Amino acid sequence: MALANHATTVFDSALFRDAFGTPAMREVFSDHSLIARYIEAEVALARAEARCGVIPAEAAEQIAARSNIDALDWEKLRHETDNVGYPILPLVHQLVEQCGEAGRYVHWGATTQDIMDTADVLRVRAGLEIIEADIAALRRTLVELATKHRDTPMAGRTHLQQALPVTFGYKAAIWLAMFDRHAERLPQLKPRVLVGELAGAAGTLASLGDKGLNVQEAFCMELGLGVPATTWHVARDGFAEVVNFLGLVTGSLGKIALDVMIMASTEFGEVYEPFVPGRGASSTMPQKRNPISSELMLAASKGVRQHAGLMLDAMVQDFERATGPWHAEWMAVPESFVLAAGALHQAQFALSGLIVDEARMRQNLAISKGLIVAEAVMMGLAPHTGRQQAHDVVYAACREVNEGGGTLAEALARDEEVTRHLDRAAIGRLTDPANYLGMAPQMVDRAVAASKRQAA
C-alpha cells in the first residue's frame, strides 16, 4: 500500500510517527477521540441538568441515546469549524439534528470553552494513564539494570574528564531515582489538573440561575472529575503544570539519552543500544551503529521543553476569556503527550536490552594509569604524613606519570616518603579503582529498595 502523501508533521507522518510517538497516545489525541470527548461532555451536561431539574429527564435520555459520532458529517464539521474558529457550535448543530425534539436542550447553559476544556481534561486523564504505566515499566527496567551492575566498576566523569571510579549500577540508580520522583509527582498533580469546567459565558454560571453550582457539581460527577473552586477559563496553571511535568519526564530521558550516546561513542565503547539488523545503519558507512533511540529521546525532550515554555506563556491571559493564548494549548498539550509517550517507548526499548561492555569499562578505568584514584592514595597516606604532605607527595607522583609515563603505582613505589609507610601490596590496593567505589554499591541498594517500596 502506498504511503499517504498528505502528512505534514512527524506526528501524522507514516514514516516518522512511530519514532516520535505511540499508536495508543496518538489515539487519545486523535480528532475522533476529541469529538468523542466533546459528545461525552455534552451528554454529561444534559444528564446533570436533568438530575437538577433544569431540563426534562426524557430530553437527557434522548440526547444520551441519539448523540452518535458515527453519524456525523465530518466534512461539514471541518468546514464549519474552519469558518467559526471552534468546533463546538458546528458539532452542536449536528447533535441538535440527531436528537430531534430533545435537541433544543443540547448544550443548555454552557459555553464553547466549557466543553472544550472538559474534553481536554478527559484526554489528559487518558494520556496520564499511559504515561503512568510507561514510567512504571521503565522503573522496573532500571531496577534490573542497577541491580545487575551494582558492582560493575567504571570511570565516573565530571566536566567530561575522568574523576573517580563509580559503578554502572550507581549510574542506573541515579536514573531510577529520577523516575521514582516522577512517579511520585504524577498522582500529586492529578487533583489539581483533573477537574471539570462548566461556568458559562463569563464564568459566572448566570445562564443556569440559582442551580448553576448544583449542575456544575453533577456535571463533574458524571465524568468522574473534580469540582473546581472557581472558574478556570483564564486560570491555566493546571494544564501548564501537566505539560511541565512532561517536560521533567522527558528532561530526565534526555539526560539518560545523552549519557548513553556518549558512552556508546567509539572512543568510550562502554554501552550499546540493543542490536537489531539495520537499526542505526548509515547509507555510506557500513560499520556505523548509531544510537537511534537515544537520539529520538533527546529530540523529544527538546520539543517538550519548548512546549513547557509555551504553556507558561499561555498562562498570561486577558480578563475573563482569552484572545489567543488558549489556542496555543491546542498545539502544546497533544504534541507534548505524544512526544513524551514516544520518548518513554524508546527508553524502554534501549534500556531493557542495553548491552553493557564491562571489559571496556575496566579498560577505560585503566587509561589514566592509576591517576583516577590519586585521591585514594592521598587519603591512605595522610594518616601517616598529614593531609597536605600526602597531597604534595601524590601530586609529584602524578606529574611524574604525566611527564615520564608508567603507572601511579610504579611512581609511588619509587618514592621513599611513600614506601616508608606503605608496602607494594598496600600501594596496589590503593591504586586499584575497584577498591575506591565509596558507597556507590550501597547507594544502589538503597535506591532499589526505595523504588520497590514505592511501587508496592
- What is the dihedral sign for C-alpha 128, 132, 137, 138? positive
The pTM of the full predicted model, rounded to 2 decimals, is 0.92
Within 8 A by CB and 6+ apart from 112, the residues are: 86, 88, 89
CA distance 259 to 142: 14
Give domain limits for the chain. Answer: 17-105, 112-203+225-364, 371-430
Check: CB of residue 163 under 8 Å from CB of residue 156: yes
The architecture CATH gives domain 17-105: Orthogonal Bundle (1.10)
CATH 1.10.40.30 fits 371-430, yes or no: yes
**What positions carry a catalytic annotation?**
159, 282
The three-state (H, E, C) secondary structure of the chain, written as one string: CCCCCCCCCCCCCCCCHHHHCCHHHHHHCCHHHHHHHHHHHHHHHHHHHHHCCCCCHHHHHHHHHHCCHHHCCHHHHHHHHHHHCCCHHHHHHHHHHHCHHHHHHCCCCCCHHHHHHHHHHHHHHHHHHHHHHHHHHHHHHHHHHHHHCCCCEEEEEECCEEEEEEEHHHHHHHHHHHHHHHHHHHHHHHHHHCECCCCCCCCCCHHHHHHHHHHHHHHHHHHCCECCCCCCCCCCHHHHHHHHHHHHHHHHHHHHHHHHHHHCCCCCCCEECCCCCCCCCCCCCCCCCCCHHHHHHHHHHHHHHHHHHHHHHHCCCCCCCCCCHHHHHHHHHHHHHHHHHHHHHHHHHHHHCCEECHHHHHHHHCCCCCHHHHHHHHHHHHHHHCHHHHHHHHHHHHHHHHHHCCCHHHHHHCCHHHHCCCCHHHHHHHCCHHHCCCCHHHHHHHHHHHHHHHHC
pLDDT tens digits in sequence order for the chain, 456 residues long? 455 567 888 888 888 888 899 999 999 999 999 999 999 999 999 999 999 999 999 999 999 999 999 999 999 999 999 999 899 999 999 999 999 999 999 999 999 999 999 999 999 999 999 999 999 999 999 999 999 999 999 999 999 998 899 999 999 999 999 999 999 999 999 999 999 999 999 999 999 999 999 999 999 999 999 999 999 999 999 999 999 999 999 999 999 999 999 999 999 999 999 877 655 544 455 455 788 999 999 999 999 999 999 999 999 998 988 888 889 999 999 999 999 999 999 999 999 999 999 999 999 999 989 888 888 999 999 999 999 999 999 999 999 998 988 999 999 999 888 898 989 999 999 999 989 999 999 999 999 999 999 998
Check: CB of residue 221 under 8 Å from CB of residue 196: no
pLDDT of amino acid 456: 85
pLDDT of amino acid 137: 97
Check: CB of residue 253 under 8 Å from CB of residue 328: no
* CATH superfamily of the domain spanning 112-203+225-364: Fumarase/aspartase (Central domain) (1.20.200.10)
CA distance 170 to 153: 9
